[in-house]
Amino acid sequence: MTTTKPDVNPDGLYNQKQAAEALSVSRQTIRRYTASGVIKFESRNAGGTKVTTGERIVRCWRLMSDKKE
């Protein structure tokens, strides 16, 4: 997990890979965060691409940073 706030647009849409890169974690970690409710993804289209917002990425970062302290 990155120690600095992720540089994302709060209103932007990010797929799981982009969210993992913004948080400096693996895609498997993103899946664990999703399963535990730390971050939420929604299907964007019929193809099943799951996306989240930059705001949710920052919220996830704050939650996980607080747990480490």
Q: How confident is the model at residue 69 (pLDDT cuts 50, 70, 90)?
A: low
pLDDT tens figures, 7-64: 999 999 999 999 999 999 999 999 999 999 999 999 877 788 899 999 999 999 999 9
pLDDT band at 66 (very low <50, low <70, confident <90, very high): confident
Please give the model's pTM, rounded to 2 decimal places.
0.88
**Closest to 51 in 3D by CA, of 24, 29, 30:** 30
Nearest to 3 by CA among 18, 28, 30, 24: 24
Q: In Å, how far are 3, 15, 56, 65 from 59, measured between CA atoms?
A: 14, 16, 5, 10
CB 38 within 8 A of CB 23: no
